[in-house]
Amino acid sequence: MALQKTVTYKGITINDAYLKIWHIEGDKTTMKFGLGTFAQSDGDMIDSKSYSFSYDIDGANPIQQGYSYLKTLPDYSDATDI
Note the pLDDT of residue 19. 98
Q: Which stretches in the chain have pLDDT values below 50?
A: none
Note the pLDDT of residue 60. 85
- Spell out a b/e string for 5-18, using b for 16 or more CB atoms within 10 Å of the CB, else e: bebeeeeeebeebb
- The answer to whether the CB of 6 falls within 8 A of the CB of 45 is no
Q: Provide the whole-model pTM.
A: 0.91
Torsion angle of the four alpha carbons 72, 74, 78, 82, in this order, in degrees rounded to the nearest 10: -50
Q: Where are the domains of the chain?
A: 3-77
